[in-house]
Amino acid sequence: MDSIEQQMGQRLVVGFHGLTAPDYLLEWLEAGRVGGVILFQRNVENPEQLAALTQSLHAAARTPLLIGIDQEGGEVARLRGWFTEAPSAMALAAGGGQYAEAVAGVLGEEMRALGINWNFAPVVDISYNAANPSVGTRSPGADPRRVADVAAAQVAGYQAAGVAACAKHFPGLGNTAIDTHVALPSIDTPLEDLIDADLLPYRAVIEAGVASIMTTHTIFAALDPALPATLSPNIVPTLLRGILGFDGVAMTDCLEMGAITAHHAPAESAALAAAAGVDLILFSHTREVQEEAYRGLIEAARSGRISEENRVESLRRIQAMKQAYAITEPPNLDAIRSAAHIETVTAAAQAGIQLVRAQGVVPLPDHVSVALVEFPSIHDSVVFDATGQTGLAARLLARRPDTTVVALSRGLPEQDVEKALDAARSAGVTILATRSVHLSPEHMRVANAVLSAAHISVLVALRNPYDVGALPDADAALCSFGGAEPQLDAVIGALLGDYVPTGSASVTLGG
């Protein structure tokens, strides 16, 4: 692979739309002008279809192929329904981290069995900021050492299963309230604080042998006041490779995010990232943008903007990772949603449930009328695939069929709010299931109105635990740290007394 076209093509990671690979992508793989493929929920129908898709991609590639996916667990998971779902990183931390490696192993085994050999996880951002719209329960928490322990265990679990891990978002996305999918944040954290806190989990995952690390589209003013980490020549060479000594693969977050596209064309952002020492350049969505990025990489290499040393060293790292995680075996669909996998994630989800206050209401008393008022998932960053309403209501109705359920629609229409208030006034106990209402004044207004109307209330924070601190008037409260399938099961089990929750938040709840 001596040509500049093939050298630079191996640095490009692309996504596509559809359940089968488009012809142009297969042609790019055969020509060696793409090094990796990212999959989303839009590419997944069921295990059989997904296995056939990945087989077609591997077969077309002229060199071992990296097929990546965001399968973090919790709210960010592209494989749901047919596949084993897992608790979030914050839930794993709330459970003391005891299941972190085992749960990562479950996800890794299923990904590998489906032909996927690269997971964009774990998230090692420190959850400093309750207003951050895109981190939340994806992070293990606010204590750098706890984040480090959970993340290192996750890396071990994924990679033992034959799936390369990717720690993100370097050098730390937790201390901002701006979503990089939309705009470009700037953080003024001093370098000493970065080294002492944000970089501590990276030291841990590097020591654990993490295969890859993803950079963030965030400006760190102490290192580069002009360019985000993804594009800055001061971040990967100086901080990641120099100070931390990482010799694995560095990759960008998607360069089609608003933080980048508002300031740079695709050809320029790709060239800047590569010249700054990032190995793999990610464009997740658009063929025309991917083509422009490829042309930009070739032109930058031919002009000398991307040096020969840069190209050779980057290719060395990429090839080493590909060889280490190459898939040659056929898919093994027997591994998907196995009984052992379900047992592991069930135990992990229960360990991660925290009962903040019970007030004699949890477990729910028998022979008391119950209402469930459930908030929608409207605060999602676009990093979250749309999954609609959760199955919390269905699970509760299966156990308590006389429950009155009000599922609030997006936008909180007035008729929905009135139904919720009526249900709260009529029920003996009202369960208020929230999803990061602390981020929205309107949602807070409605949540407080429901609590005021309720005779006795139980707050269930299904996403960020900060809702508990923001809504102190709830009589009882518990946190699930996410709404994945096993977490919803665990919530119902806790409410109905199947077990005693012992989880402990890895962040300060406030309030």
Tokens of 50: 């997904």
Question: What DSSP character marks residue 324?
Answer: H
Instruction: Quickly count helices (H) and strands (E) in the chain.
Output: 18, 18
Question: What DSSP character marks residue 243?
Answer: I
Cα–Cα distance between 175 and 229 in angstroms, integer?
Answer: 14
Among residues 469, 166, 461, 479, the alpha carbon closest in space to that of 321 is found at: 166
Contact 317, 55 (CB under 8 A): no
Cα–Cα distance between 75 and 454 in angstroms, integer?
Answer: 29
Phi, psi (degrees; rounded to nearest 5) at 35: -100, -20
Concatenated DSSP letters of 421-484: HHHHHH-SEEEEEESSGGG-HHHHHHHHHHHHH-SSEEEEESS-THHHHH-TT-SEEEE-SS--
| Beta strands in 314-426, from DSSP E residues, in sequence order | 354-357, 370-374, 404-407
Which listed residue (143, 181, 263, 385) is catalytic?
181
Contact 213, 246 (CB under 8 A): yes
What is the enclosing helix (H) or strand (E) of 67? Answer: strand 66-69
Which listed residue (253, 279, 380, 416) is catalytic?
253
Distances (CA, A) of 171 to 188, 270, 284, 304: 13, 19, 21, 28
Classify strands 71-73 and 12-14 as parallel, antiparallel or unpaired. Answer: unpaired
Cα–Cα distance between 473 and 471 in angstroms, integer?
Answer: 6
Cα–Cα distance between 73 and 79 in angstroms, integer?
Answer: 9
Side by side, the strands of the sheet bearing 281-283 are 249-251, 212-215, 164-170, 118-119, 66-69, 36-39, 12-14, 281-283
For residue 263, indicate whether it is catalytic. Answer: no
Distances (CA, A) of 437 to 88, 284, 347, 425, 468: 18, 30, 27, 21, 10
For residue 253, indicate whether it is catalytic. Answer: yes
Residues marked as catalytic: 181, 253
